[in-house]
Structure 1
Amino acid sequence: MHTLFQTDSEIPQSKRIVFLGDSITDNGLYIALMEAYFLHHLPQQGLTFINLGVSSETASGLSEAAHPWPRPCVHDRLERALRESRPDWLVLCYGMNDGIYQPFSEERFHAYREGMLRALRLGKQTAEKVIVLTPPPYDHRSKQLHPDYAGEAAAGAETDKGFSWKSPDPGYNGVLRRYANWVLTLADGQEADAAINIHDPLAKDLEELRNDNPDYIYGDGIHPNARGHWIIAKTLLSRLFHVTLERMPDYAADPDAASWFPAVLERHRLLGAAWKEHVGHTNPNKAEEALPLADALVRADALRERILGAAAFGSDAAIPADLKTSDWNGYRRYDFYVGGREAIVVEPKRPASGKPWIWRAEFFDAFAYADRALLEQGWHIAYCRLSHMYGCPAAVRSMESFRKCVTGVFGLAPRMSLFGFSRGGLYAVNYAAAYPQHVSALYLDAPVLDICSWPGGKGAGSGSPAQWEECLAVYGLTEEKAAKEHALKALSHAGKLAAADIPVLLIAGDADTVVPYDENGERFERLYREAEGRIQVIVKPGIGHHPHSLENPEPIVQFIRSHPF
């Protein structure tokens, strides 16, 4: 794995990101959803998304006998596409058509591998970064149920010309799974800067939906529906830009749910058609409505201004954008965004005097025994999703923006009790060290307090290599520098927090092999006591990293209630 994340998880400015792919990319909804995110929440980033997807295209140059014309191949246009679009980042997504819907064949697999490697090598000569996506899954059940293809899918190999996009081999997803596994190896060498798995997130989402509805239709089995495009979009937002989202926006399924989103789609399709025909391709179906590229760019600029004028943007002092309410265990829950990050506030039925609140730094609703007990007693719960940022300085700045928002909009107390579970310990301690005046108490549970311990795995724990790479990237560190930069370890803040007289409750298991207690919590306790800080410790004999918290949360509740403001 190679991470694209930059120091402080900084989202790159003014990048041209070019997408090449088949009809799934040509449809482009997943790209439009990413554009919508940035236009709505972070328009200042100035990212340019160029969709050069072409329906029916392959990287292998193969076609099934039943296809009405030879499938277009990306290599027919790749050099011109790169020359004209001048990508900073190039994203490639092929594979669905490359097995030509037949049972697995080593010969076809070889053609796919060679076609992809050739495209990646050429991309490397032009783009700063080359990113390759796995093919998405094929779902035969959806093909059987889809009204446009049900009869042909059932016929399968009985058709005159064998399997095709209309009637794929029922086991075709196994072919795509093998292709996806190979794609994921490309970032281990020099072929790609990142390989992103969209196959598994789509398959997992489909499995969960099928558990509730066995007849759920995932597009036509080949082309994802709107929900599938959202899964691709949020996967790419996470892997390309370090933005973790869970909520599917209403406009992803219903473009009219947001007044400005139809204009995003119009702009995306306008530019996609113009770019595709400007570059040229060998699919006989041309975009007859395409404008000359120069004219399309002018119209797209006007649409962008219209979108920005129509979209509502949240701020620290105003009602957050996209504020939604729902029920959470019998309590009112508010969902919104702060600085493009998902945020949650849960409101008690009767707020306690002064509106005290607890802030989950990570893992909202996990082992939430104390959270719910305090909610019942009138405390608000708050959370901002900053996952995979490991408490880096940018995460701390985003946390402060969130605090300003919720204290302003919801009238919460100026100081809060901050909960740091597992890696949330990095966020909680680093925030408290930067803004001690806003923290009334810290509750740390099996906390990560030394990045070399976890995710680095440089001590007794196994660590997590992929997350260690991410962590080093967001802190701007090498492994060697990480071992020496004690100022970046949350442990080093113990003296500062003690001097600020922030009381700490620390709960951990002494058999934790993931985040070893003696490398994290125990060391923090020793440093805190040496600095004459106030700290209570509950060590759970024989307990590992899980379960967190206490099933009887009364000791936690008493500690938090004794330090409300």
Structure 2
Amino acid sequence: MKHLFRYFIISCLCFATNTGFAQSKIRIACIGNSITFGSGLKDRAKESYPAQLQALLGPAYEVLNFGVSGATMLKKGNKPYWKTPEYEQALVAAANVYFVKLGTNDSKLINRPMMGDYVNDYRDMVRTLAKLQSRPRIILLTPIKAFSDEKFGISGTYLKDSIIPSIQKLAYEENLEVIDLHSLFADKEALLADKIHPNAEGDGFIAKRLYELIAQQTKKTGATGSIPKLNLPAEKSSFYGYNCFQFKFKERNAKIAVPKREAAGKPWIWRARFWGHEPQTDIALLERGYHVVYCDVAELFGNSEAINLWNGFYNHLQKLGFAKKAVLEGMSRGGVYVYNWAAANPKKVTCIYADNPVLDLKSWPGGKGIGPGSKKEWATFLKDYSYQTDEQAAAFAGSPIDKIKEIVKGGYPMLHVCGDQDEVVPISENTSLFAEKIKQAGGNISIIHKPEGKHHPHSLPNPQPIVDFILRAAQK
């Protein structure tokens, strides 16, 4: 009985389920199509992602593969999963966790006339699963990236533009977890010999991601998360399937995106500028239990007013129980904001992820070096710092590149993702020079170079290297 009770407690804590009966193993059911089934693998019994997940989890778990090649979520699709024996078996299994990965075959031209039913058909399935006696945790998996618009009739473009937003819509409406496998495979074309189905190594990446999800200790946040404690009027909307609350903080727009399950310690990432642009890192962290926050201080270019506003916002987040230290994310001019705030608050920073960042305001928007600058933004900068002329601004020393000593005091690691051909914010005047000074001062900085990259696009198609950096920093 002690053995059974222990696993029942684990089930409640890890999966937030009320099983209603004791079972010796935590049961995980994988509903899906040919990728779940393991089509094309030499030994699907060992190499499919459900099989590899079983190997990672060990004997305390039972992972069941209910994949059906060619299956659609659409009830009126050319091969509805609903009409398969595997679906009936999945229901009878009454698992503690259901991973649902259907949508790839729905992208076929033959199925598109029925796409208006996709979300409602998906909703019917997850609600059916939710009513099972096991009261399972239900996790939606987006299709992996398809590197073709023709192979097997599957369209990678349609998956990205229509299927995945539909899954995110359902995740928002039903308050369900959703895992972005599409971005995970953005740089893994070599692992898909036929452009659609991953090989055993590719399935291993899926299994590892699902294992990390199951192994992580989190708690369910509910439909509203922590936002009501702010006692501020807030508008709720979807941020790629997650609840996002927008409100006013000292007359400035503020946003908080809430994870479906919150990680221990309530970690968070603070995006400085360009909310929602290249969001793959933010989405990946939401999956892992991070909140994503934003407080608009545009366009103050990191001056004292901006720092004071952010200090106040930080204090509000502390009242909500957020972690004492923040992950800071600065894209382009956002680099000025995160580094200037970090220089003023070195002990409140977990790490900094900066992307083609502005680190010297004389470089941009000033255009005093090799870059073009911006006359409009330079005029704003002069006003923000109370300069009347360019000659007066020549003595300016308030950019991150001027605050090396203050920045390294925090002892936190820094990661920059940079296009070596950045035509707007030249790397030589910004990250390269900044990194050299940081290292000379004993700081910890690393750079991911994009040799042919320009200022846009920001981030990485697969944000895993950025996410790994942040998670490592959080563990220290």
1:537 aligns to what SS in structure 2? strand
The answer on 1:490 being equivalent to 2:400 is yes
1:295-334 mapped onto 2 (5 Å cutoff):
319-334=230-245
1:359 to 245, 250, 270: 270
In structure 2, what is the equivalent of residue 391 of structure 1?
A: 302
The answer on 1:349 being equivalent to 2:260 is yes
Q: C-alpha distance in 2, partners of 1:498/1:525?
A: 11
Whether the 8 Å contact between 1:341 and 1:385 is mirrored in structure 2 is yes
In structure 2, what is the equivalent of residue 476 of structure 1?
A: 386
Whether the 8 Å contact between 2:346 and 2:409 is mirrored in structure 1 is no
The answer on 1:413 being equivalent to 2:315 is no
Q: C-alpha distance in 1, partners of 2:361/2:238?
A: 37
2:415 to 505, 509, 514: 505
1:484 aligns to what SS in structure 2? coil
1:418-437 mapped onto 2 (5 Å cutoff):
418-437=328-347
The answer on 1:540 being equivalent to 2:443 is no
Whether the 8 Å contact between 1:338 and 1:405 is mirrored in structure 2 is no
Given residue 466 of structure 1, which amino acid in structure 2 is its aligned partner? K
In structure 1, what is the equivalent of residue 471 of structure 2?
A: 561
Q: C-alpha distance in 2, partners of 1:341/1:318?
A: 18
1:157-168 mapped onto 2 (5 Å cutoff):
none
Q: C-alpha distance in 1, partners of 2:257/2:281?
A: 14
Gap change, CA 1:317 and 1:432, over 3 Å in 2: farther
1:375-386 mapped onto 2 (5 Å cutoff):
375-386=286-297
1:282-306 residue CA offsets vs partner (Å, 9 max, x unmatched): xxxxxxxxxxxxxxxxxxxxxxxxx
Whether the 8 Å contact between 1:389 and 1:471 is mirrored in structure 2 is yes
Gap change, CA 1:367 and 1:317, over 3 Å in 2: closer
In structure 2, what is the equivalent of residue 526 of structure 1?
A: 436
Whether the 8 Å contact between 1:499 and 1:531 is mirrored in structure 2 is no
Given residue 458 of structure 1, which amino acid in structure 2 is its aligned partner? K
Q: C-alpha distance in 2, partners of 1:480/1:544?
A: 31
Whether the 8 Å contact between 2:425 and 2:455 is mirrored in structure 1 is yes
The answer on 1:335 being equivalent to 2:335 is no
1:346 aligns to what SS in structure 2? strand
Q: C-alpha distance in 2, partners of 1:485/1:388?
A: 18
Whether the 8 Å contact between 2:240 and 2:283 is mirrored in structure 1 is no
2:473 aligns to what SS in structure 1? coil
Gap change, CA 1:465 and 1:401, over 3 Å in 2: same
Q: C-alpha distance in 2, partners of 1:495/1:542?
A: 32
Given residue 257 of structure 2, which amino acid in structure 1 is its aligned partner? V
How far did 1:390 drift?
1.1
Gap change, CA 1:513 and 1:345, over 3 Å in 2: same
Structure 1 runs (4+) greater than 6 angstroms displaced: none
Q: C-alpha distance in 2, partners of 1:461/1:317?
A: 45
Whether the 8 Å contact between 1:320 and 1:336 is mirrored in structure 2 is no
Q: C-alpha distance in 1, partners of 2:402/2:344?
A: 13
The answer on 1:441 being equivalent to 2:441 is no
Gap change, CA 1:564 and 1:320, over 3 Å in 2: farther
With the length of structure 2 as denominator, give the TM-score of the two structures: 0.51
Whether the 8 Å contact between 1:320 and 1:337 is mirrored in structure 2 is no
Whether the 8 Å contact between 1:362 and 1:423 is mirrored in structure 2 is yes
Farther off after superposition, 449-458 or 324-333: 324-333
Given residue 556 of structure 1, which amino acid in structure 2 is its aligned partner? I
Whether the 8 Å contact between 1:414 and 1:438 is mirrored in structure 2 is yes
How many residue pairs were aligned? 248
In structure 2, what is the equivalent of residue 206 of structure 1?
A: none
Whether the 8 Å contact between 1:317 and 1:405 is mirrored in structure 2 is no
1:95-115 residue CA offsets vs partner (Å, 9 max, x unmatched): xxxxxxxxxxxxxxxxxxxxx
1:498-523 residue CA offsets vs partner (Å, 9 max, x unmatched): 13212100111111111111011111
Whether the 8 Å contact between 1:335 and 1:344 is mirrored in structure 2 is yes
List runs of 5+ in structure 1 lacking aligned partners.
1-315
In structure 1, what is the equivalent of residue 43 of structure 2?
A: none
2:289 aligns to what SS in structure 1? coil
Q: C-alpha distance in 1, partners of 2:391/2:271?
A: 32
In structure 2, what is the equivalent of residue 260 of structure 1?
A: none
Q: C-alpha distance in 1, partners of 2:288/2:339?
A: 26
Which structure has the larger Rg over C-alpha atoms?
Answer: 1
Q: C-alpha distance in 1, partners of 2:371/2:235?
A: 41
In structure 2, what is the equivalent of residue 514 of structure 1?
A: 424
1:144-293 mapped onto 2 (5 Å cutoff):
none
Whether the 8 Å contact between 1:504 and 1:535 is mirrored in structure 2 is yes
How far did 1:320 drift?
4.3
2:230 aligns to what SS in structure 1? coil
Whether the 8 Å contact between 1:416 and 1:564 is mirrored in structure 2 is no
Whether the 8 Å contact between 1:369 and 1:551 is mirrored in structure 2 is yes
Q: C-alpha distance in 1, partners of 2:452/2:231?
A: 45
In structure 1, what is the equivalent of residue 90 of structure 2?
A: none
Q: C-alpha distance in 2, partners of 1:373/1:499?
A: 29
How far did 1:544 drift?
0.8
Q: C-alpha distance in 1, partners of 2:404/2:456?
A: 24
Q: C-alpha distance in 1, partners of 2:396/2:302?
A: 15
Please, what is the CA RMSD of the aligned residues?
1.7
With the length of structure 1 as denominator, give the TM-score of the two structures: 0.43
Q: C-alpha distance in 2, partners of 1:391/1:382?
A: 17
Q: C-alpha distance in 1, partners of 2:457/2:273?
A: 15
Q: Which has the higher contact order (CA 8 A, sep 6+)?
A: 1
